[in-house]
Amino acid sequence: MSAHEKLSRRQVLRGVLGGAAVSVALPMLECFLDPNGTAYAATGASLPPIFGTWFWGLGLIPDHWEPKTTGDKYELPEHIAVLAPIKAKLNLYSGMQVFLDGKVNQNHFSGAQCQMTGMVSRTGSEYTTSLDSILGNHIGKRTRFRSIEVSCDGDRKSTWSARGANGMNPSEVSPLALYARLFGADFKDPNSADFTPDPAIMVRRSVLTGVAEQRKALMMKVSATDRTRLDEYFSSVRDLEQQLSVELERPSPVPSCSVPPKIESEDIGTLVDQTRNTHRQFAQLIAHALACGQTQVFNMAMGSSFSPLRKPGEATAYHQLTHEERIDPQLGYQPKCRWLAEQQMAFFLEMVQTLDSIREGDATLLDRSVVFAYTDHGEARLHSMKRYPVFTAGSGGGRMKTGFHLAAEGDAATRVGLTIQQALGISTGSWGTETNRATKPFSELLV
Amino acid sequence: MSKAVSIMSTDMSNGMSIGKALLRKVPGLRTPGMKFPCKTLCCCLPALAMLLGASGAVAETRGYAISLIYTASYSDAENCPKGGNGGTSEMKQRILLSRGYTKEQAFKIIAANDVDDKGQKIEFKMRGVMDGHPADVADFPMSYPDPHIETVQGRLAYGFNLDGQAGPNSFEDPQTHEKGVDNQMWRVLGCFANYQVRPPVIPYNESIVWDTAMDSMPAWLVSIAGGDLNKDGEVTVTFDRALNVLMRDAHGAVLPGSSYTIDRDPRSHSVFKGHIKDQVVSIEPGNFFMQGESQFYAVLRFTHTQLRLKLNPSGTLSGLIGGYQPWLDYYHYLSIRGEGDGLVDLPGTYYAMKRLADADPDPATGENRAISSAYYIEAAPVFLTSVAGQVVSTAYAGDGSSQAPVVKEGVAKEDTVARQDAPARPAPR
Amino acid sequence: MNTGTAIGNVISQTRMSQMKTSARFLQMRLLQLPVLLAGVSLCAWASPSLAEPVQAAGDPATSLSFVRLTPEQYRRSIEDVFGSNIRVKENKVSPGFRDEGLLALGTRKLTIGSAEMEQYEELAQDIATQVVDPNRRAMLVGCKPKSEQEADNACAGAFLKKVGLYLFRRPVADDELQLYVATQNDAAQKLHSFNAGMIAALSQMLVAPEFLFRVEYSEPVPGHPDEQRLDAYSRASRLSFFLWDSAPDGELLAAAQSGKLLTQEGLNQQVQRMLLSPRTERGLRAFFTDMLGFDGFATLTVDSTLYPKFTKNVLEDADEQTLRTIVDQLLVKNKSYGELFVTRETFLTPSLAALYGVPLPRSQELGGAVPWVAYKFPDNDPRIGILSQVSFLSLNSHPGTSSPTLRGKALREKLLCQKVPPPPGNVDFSLVQDVNNPKFKTARQRLTAHASEAMCAGCHKITDPMGFALENFDTSGAFRTAEHGEPIDASGSLNGKAFNGMQELAQVVKDAPGTTACLINRAYSYGTQRKPTKDERTWLTSLQTELGNDGVKWRELMRRITLNADFYTVPTAPPLTARAEQ
């Protein structure tokens, strides 16, 4: 037996590989859920929480989106009135701020960076572990995909997700490709009665195991500056091993899981209708992937923070409009920008409603999720770092109260990230660096 | 081209003067002191001369590619007093009624995808009878009795007065109000629902066929040469076929300013004397022939051809072409597509065309083989070049309000860079 | 002519004639490798002495550094090793970010995330499956297994050792090889298939860090134990990725193995050989694609409602036009870099010609392949040099309006290596207003109004005057003389030199000393994938002076850079990186 074989860690399944495949028929029935629909009857375990981020560029029209009162009896201002159908499952945070602490404002970068990583860097090439990775490591280790990143404007670079300090996770931009990745040949329907571990997948996994086992030897030799990058590569190898391992295990039946209709065509682009359509396709795919337990973490970006969103025939794209469109003296705002901002709010509504439309017993997929919606500037026209509009939707399985407007004038926007971390069970007292270090969660929301 | 070289080397002054005249007429670029590359210019001259024949001084030749063609339909309330022939389901209904079904039964059968209440599929296509066997009515229209479709009775129709007379079978053109318009083709087709449209709406069956042909069929070209095409005067109008298919812009329209090489095959080369009046081009009647490569327009040919083309300020052309056309040509367009796609009653159309044809009597039978017709056409401004690479017509930039190209000429030559690594076109991103 | 060049010729001829037997030439190449390395036998797979990790280059490496392969380098490496019949699916890894104006420098900071790993694993499976495909196996694998249903360690070992040398760009050590052979053995047993075993082992190599990253091994500089330089194999990789944008070929690896590459003479020999190879074109293309920011075409939007001539074909042809122009000028015609800005020679496709408004005689194709045609714009035509090409004009515009600011910024940053500060926060752009404002019809009018604000004036003074000279070209790159009916004033200035319109701007850019300085600096940074040290900057300045008289020729510049020993040093402290550009 070779050295490699001795090192192989997956001896357990050898027997299966050598002999006949396991195939046990199991009926798939609603009775697997307990009467409340939130736990597996067999184990009593709660359905796991879900964390998602939803990024849109260029904020909202200042003074037009903040409700006049706080608490749970507030009224939605007209600018965001579209969110009314989900108001009870939504929280709104106003007055939030990102602090630069003397560093250059990397326009359209620093603000989103801070809300996702807790820090503002000196340069745009520094970026570190993002909120979704922190939460993913805590809640989503057992899923087929560690997380799913998508962007609706065709730009792979539209992402704010990173596992460490060495580059961001590129976004998937094609709904067709995402469909293939999630529900293609490698998808194991958790509700399928038959399950046969695929020996070919076992081989693929042991190939990766072999690679991963070189880690130690290489890490000893690598230069200090490259060590974390190499380590991250090996983490990625482990992730993929894990993903294949999950595919080798019999999935627990999930009543709410269904394969979404196959996506037949896509039209990727930056026109409002194209982005809406792409977003809709992604929303459906992600919701189904979540319901089917394929992942517990997702990151959706409407697109680049320099938003290229456009009305057809309109010469100027959104980002340029924020700087060039006249503020209508009668209305007191930039009308085209407002329209585009409201389109994005409508997209957000659609995403949240898509999650809410999948029933799991007497609750919904949204109910066990926390979706964190954030943007790059308080007032994009001026690259303002104040008064950021921030939203969360869903209660993370009853771990966070919803239906509130919270005004925290001048507080670090990282408070929202800290609150979510604590709600989803990460025991940390603070998050962020320098003035952006938040120590006080919105405790009124924590259950 | 040896002749070009000889002009350049021996008679430079003559060559340049014509060249300058040509350049002056080219709108758009006004770079002072721009030198016209002699090589290219001189090469154009013989080609231009050939194009014009003996018609005298030529200062400008504009090139066009036909971007749209369809039956010049003029739908009108007076056209079909009996209510018209409808579409495919009306045709089926008539057939079923003639076979003894009730109206209700017929309706149910058509709704059930041609299946009767006993589960029997009703055959329409093979409804003809030849030698006692079922026959396809598209291929053998005479195998089925004439259903006597309704034909157009109205007063107005697009077209031309081809025979110089105004008789009881003539129309009046709704645009020019010229009397004596001959368009018996329209009389045949105009009561099918599909043709009951007016420009800019295109009969559905022709619209989809043309859209497909655009991407697969060598382009049909027009060039207009004359002294100053912005003024009234004599011109020469030439039709040719290209070696290239049409290029489209981002909207799917023909790309203005694209280049086409003229096919040397003389078959599709038709030259007409003509004139411009108030920016409308007309021609002296003659023969027209254009080879197509599509299901529908396998060939387009007329005798006594007439033309009424407007030179639009944007640089495009639009208007009518018409003449006497072999009626079987158009019948074949329709029969290839069948009744389902063509949306006409084929035997009905066949008998009507045969009956209403108004030219070219067969010496043996005395039956007319050609029928008067008119088509609406549009053309986009493009560059035309000869197979040898000479530019023979320029793409007219219009009056500046459009995005038509600025005209200038450089020197194109074979790609001399060996490039084994680089793809002909980068991989799609 | 030595053996290596002959093999190079075999390869290029094979490509040029587009033979469908690239597997055959690959086999030839693989078969000839032992001749190069050991000069013993043509029986490649049977020779145990081949590609032994001979430590001819001195002490074992002391430190490793990792640089991720670009998607293009990945594809090329596969094609170079296995032949172009192997189809490499689109690689959708993140392009990374720019550092010092170059993706090449940002690449040094990239790792491989989970989603990217997924892709690489899928690619690896796919490529390995193709290589051992029954139709190719005889050619590519070279040996026949004892049984189709069983492992064959001898056959696998010979193959993996050979292929490993090319994939890892260094010999595979015995203990490493054992691991890969074991993978093959396990998988073949489990799946009862020799091929499955080979797929497993080969795919394992293809997801290994040694393939996905260029691993740079360093060693002490002889006589200067406190300084570090690249070892021989890493030197071969640096040369090859710089000059060819691909992995080293057999001859270069042989020079590394023998240690000759570490001598000035051996290096000189290899550089001369490499610069004569047609692969130099790849290197040139990769460099300018990076320097000119052509990765931006992946996300470029030009509003087709407003510019219907900007078709998908134009989008696909735009960067290729510029790259062909550059290859033609710098490699084929051996012109100096400055010529790129004033040449009227270029190449057009029918779609580009329509956008430029020029006739382009088309061959007799009927919707098939689109040929490129060499084309020369007449003297005094406003189209002059690469700045007047669609690639530069559209890439540095807004989707619906041209932007003197973006174009001026690109000129400064991409071609003159200058830094333009980002707009400050809290800027009120309301003066710029909308493009339909009847008071401000042209971009110049809008920007002049905007730049009269004191806080904006500083930066716009830097960018706009250069960009104004390009205002005769709209977003799509089409020529125009008016915007919204108002005649365009295309006068501008650079460093106090006034000019009017494209032609004069082109001359000014060509003559500016910063233009060649920028190229030299970018090329050096691109090759080392780091910022030059202080000493290196001094050397680069003197290089510019030396090359200055004749203008900078591409091959000469490459030769000078690659023959400089500093090009292979490993700075002890990591160089600082500046802010990545957005």
Q: Which chains touch B (3 or more CB pairs under 8 A)?
A: C
Burial class (CB in 10 A: 0-12, 13-18, 19+), C550: exposed
Report d(CA C418, CA C129) in Å as an integer.
48
Element (H, E) at C327: none
What distance in Å separates the CA atoms of residue B396 and residue B279, rounded to the nearest whole number?
14
* Chains sharing 3 or more CB pairs under 8 A with chain C: A, B
The pair of three-digit structure tokens given for residue C427, joined into one six-digit string:
């800027």
pLDDT in tens, C238-251: 999 999 999 999 99
pLDDT of C7 > 70? The answer is no
Among candidates C401, C446, C582 on the partner chain, residue whose Cβ is nearest the Cβ of A315: C401
Q: Is pLDDT above 70 for A265?
A: yes
- List CB contacts of B191: < 8 A, sequence separation 6 or more: B79, B80, B84, B85, B149, B150, B151, B152
- Answer whether C351 sits within 8 Å of B406, measured CB to CB: no
**How many beta-carbon contacts under 8 Å exist across B and C?**
188
Q: Decide if C7 contacts C29 (C-beta within 8 A).
A: yes
Question: Are B420 and C378 a contacting pair at CB < 8 A?
Answer: no
pLDDT tens for each residue of A31-86: 334 444 444 433 334 688 999 999 999 999 988 999 999 999 999 999 999 999 99
Q: Which residue do the tokens 């849109």 mark?
A: A56
| Polymer length of chain A | 447
Mutation choice for C interface testing from A99, A226, A381 by most C CBs within 10 A = A226
CA distance A64 to chain C (A): 19
CB within 8 A of A127, min separation 6: which ones?
A113, A117, A121, A162, A165, A167, A168
**Is the CB of residue C437 less than 8 Å from the CB of residue C449?**
no
d(CA A136, CA A421): 11
pLDDT attached to residue A188: 82
Chain B residue numbers with beta carbons less than 8 Å from the beta carbon of C327 are 417, 419, 422
Chain B touched by C320 (CB under 8 Å): yes
Among the partner residues C16, C304, C310, nearest to B418 by beta-carbon distance: C16
Distance CA C157, CA C169 (A): 17
Which residue reads 């010469």 in tokens? A315
pLDDT band for C435, please (50, 70, 90 cuts): low
Residue C277 in contact with residue B418, Cβ under 8 Å? no
With contact defined as beta carbons under 8 Å apart, do C105 and C529 qualify? yes
Distance separating alpha carbons of residues B79 and A75, to the nearest angstrom:
62
Banded model confidence at residue C436, pLDDT cuts 50, 70, 90: low
Chains near A, with 3+ CB pairs < 8 A?
A: C
pLDDT in the model for residue A362: 86
Tell me the three state secondary structure of residue C479: strand
- Which residues in chain A have their CB less than 8 angstroms from residue C582's CB? 106-109, 124, 306
Which is more confidently placed, A162 or B321? Answer: B321
Q: B 7-66 residues with CB below 8 A of C?
A: 28-31, 33-37
> In which residue are the tokens 């056409």 written?
B377
Q: What token pair was written down for C230?
A: 């690249």
- Residue range C200-207: mean pLDDT, rounded: 97
pLDDT band at A323 (very low <50, low <70, confident <90, very high): confident
Cα–Cα distance between C41 and A60 in angstroms, integer?
A: 73
Residues of C in contact with A2 (CB under 8 A): 178-179, 181-182, 185
Return d(Cα C447, Cα C432) in angstroms, integer. Answer: 6
Residue that wins the pLDDT comparison between C129 and A169: C129
User: Looking at residue C428, what is its pLDDT?
Assistant: 55
Q: How far is C64 from chain B (nearest CA, A)?
A: 32
Q: How far apart are CA B394 and CA B385, in angstroms?
A: 9
Give pLDDT, residue C363: 65
- Taking contacts as CB-CB distances below 8 angstroms, the residues of chain B near C360 are 259, 383, 385, 412
Point out the residue among B390, B407, B412 whose CB comes nearest to the CB of C357.
Answer: B407
* Whole-number Å distance between alpha carbons of B215 and C38: 58
What's the average model confidence in pLDDT over A87-106? Answer: 89
Query: Which of A122, A163, A317 has the CB atom closest to C398's CB atom?
Result: A317
Q: Is the pLDDT of residue C209 over 60?
A: yes
| pLDDT score for A31 | 33
Give the span between the Cα atoms of C211 and C176, in whole angstroms. Answer: 13
Percent of chain A with pLDDT over 90: 55
Q: Are C164 and C175 in contact (CB under 8 A)?
A: no
> What are the b/e assignments for C138-166, b being 16+ CB within 10 Å?
ebbbbbebeeeeebbbebbbbbbbbbbbb
Range C573-576 contact pairs with CB under 8 angstroms and sequence separation of 24 or more: C574/A225, C575/C530, C575/C531, C575/C533, C576/C531
In this complex, the residue of B250, B412, B419 whose CB is nearest that of residue C360 is B412
Residue type, A436: N
Q: Is the pLDDT of residue A193 over 80?
A: no
HEC readout, chain B: CHHHHHHHHHCHHHHHHHHHHHHHHCCCCCCCCCCCCHHHHHHHHHHHHHHHCCCCCCCEEEEEEEEEEEECCCCCCCCCCCCCCECHHHHHHHHHHHCCCCHHHHHHHHHCCCECCCCCECCCCCCEEECCEEECCCCCHHHCCCCCCCCCCCCECCCECCCCCCCCCCEECCCCCCCCEECHHHHHHCCEHHHCCCCCCCCHHHHHHHHHHHCCCEEEEEEEEECCCCCCEEEEEEEEEEEEECCECCCCCECCCCEEEECCCHHHCEEEEEEEECCEEEECCCCEEEECCCCCCCEEEEEEEEEEEEECCCCCEEEEEEEEEEHHHHHHHHHHHHHHHHCCCHHHHHHHHHHHCCEEECCCCCCEEEEEEEEEEEEEECEEECCCCCEEEECCCCCCCCCCCCCCCCEEECCCCCCCCCCCCCCCC
User: pLDDT tens-digit profile of C513-554?
Assistant: 899 999 999 999 999 999 999 999 999 999 999 887 678 999
Instruction: Check C111 against A230: CB less than 8 A apart.
Output: yes
> Which residues from chain C sit within 8 angstroms of residue B245, using beta carbons?
366-367
Residues in CB range of B280: below 8 A, 6 or more apart: B308, B309, B310, B311, B319
For chain B, say whether C454 makes contact (Cβ under 8 Å).
Answer: no
Q: Supply the pLDDT for residue C482.
A: 83
For the segment B325-353, what is each residue's pLDDT rounded down to a tens digit? 999 999 999 998 888 777 799 999 999 99
Q: Which chain B residues are within 8 Å of C380, Cβ to Cβ?
A: 31, 33-35
Instruction: Compute mean pLDDT per 10 residues along chain B, 429 residues long, and list them.
Output: 30 31 32 33 37 56 95 93 89 91 89 86 92 93 96 96 93 95 97 88 84 86 95 97 89 90 93 97 97 85 98 94 97 87 89 97 96 97 91 79 38 37 36
Q: What is the mean pLDDT of chain A?
A: 85
Letter string b/e over residues C280-306, b meaning 16 or more CB atoms within 10 A of that residue's CB: bbbbbbbbbbbbbbbbebebbbbbbbb
Grouping H, G, I as helix, E, B as strand and the rest as coil, residue C245 is coil
Are A226 and C64 a contacting pair at CB < 8 A? yes
Distance CA A212, CA B252 (A): 52
- B218 has a chain C CB within 8 A of its CB: yes
Torsion of CA B246, B252, B256, B260, to 10 degrees: -10
Cβ contact A141:A234 at 8 Å? no
Q: Which residue, among B84, B88, B4, has the nearest Cα to B49 in the 3D structure?
A: B4
Distances (CA, A) of A50 to A146, A147, A256: 12, 10, 15
Residue of chain C whose alpha carbon sits nearest to that of A303: C299
Instruction: Find the closest chain C residue to B214 by CA distance.
Output: C367
Return phi, psi of residue B78, to 5°: -75, -15
Interface of A with C in 288-327 (CB under 8 A): 304, 306, 308, 310, 312-317, 320, 323-327
Chain C hits for A312, CB-CB cut-off 8 Å, are 305
User: What pLDDT shows up at residue B238?
Assistant: 98
CA C25, CA C8: separation in Å to the nearest integer? 11
List of chain A residues whose C-beta atoms are within 8 Å of the C-beta of residue C185:
2, 5
User: How do residues C299-338 score in pLDDT, each as one tens digit?
Assistant: 887 887 788 899 888 998 999 999 999 999 999 999 999 9
Q: What is the pLDDT of residue C451?
A: 65
pLDDT in tens, B92-149: 899 999 999 999 999 888 888 888 888 888 989 999 999 999 999 999 999 999 999 9
Q: Worst-scoring range by mean pLDDT, A206-210, A243-247, B157-161?
A: A243-247
Q: Can you tell me the distance from the alpha carbon of B427 to that of C295, in angstroms, rounded to the nearest whole number?
A: 13
Check residue A8 and give its pLDDT. Answer: 30
User: What is the torsion angle, in degrees rounded to the nearest 10, for the CA atoms of residue B44, residue B47, residue B49 and residue B51?
Assistant: -130
CA dihedral for C252, C258, C261, C267, sign (positive or negative): negative
Residue A160 has pLDDT above 60, yes or no: yes
Q: Higher-confidence residue: A414 or B252?
A: A414
> Residue A141: what pLDDT?
67
> What is the tens place of the pLDDT at every residue in B145-163?
999 999 999 999 999 999 9
CA dihedral over C49, C50, C52, C54, signed as positive or negative: positive
Beta pairing partners, C570 = C228
Residues B174/B168, Cβ–Cβ less than 8 Å: no
Q: Mean pLDDT: which of B44-58, C349-363, C486-500 is highest?
A: C349-363
Q: Distance (Å) from the C-alpha of residue C21 to the closest C-alpha of chain A?
A: 31
Provide the token pair at A123. 């340069």
pLDDT of residue B35: 34
Contacts of C474 in chain A (CB under 8 A): none
CA nearest to A371, candidates A86, A175, A69 = A86
Contact of C398 with chain B, judged by CB distance below 8 Å, is answered with no
Is a pLDDT exceeding 50 seen at residue C421?
yes
**Interval A404-430 mean pLDDT:** 91
Position C498 pLDDT exceeds 60: yes
CA distances from B94 to B107, B114, B124, B148 (A): 11, 13, 11, 11
The verdict on B407 touching C (C-beta cutoff 8 Å) is yes
Q: Flag if C425 and A122 touch (Cβ within 8 Å).
A: no
Instruction: Test C94 with A156 for CB contact under 8 angstroms.
Output: yes
Asked if A381's CB is within 8 angstroms of C435's CB, the reply is no
Per the model's pLDDT, the better-predicted residue between C45 and B273 turns out to be B273
* Torsion sign (Cα): B44, B46, B51, B54: positive
Structure tokens at B207: 């619209």
Amino acid in the structure at residue A245: S
B87 and B194 Cβ atoms separated by less than 8 Å: yes
% of chain C surpassing 70 pLDDT: 81
Select from A12, A58, A125 the residue whose CB has the most chain C CBs within 10 Å, as the one to mutate to test that interface.
A125
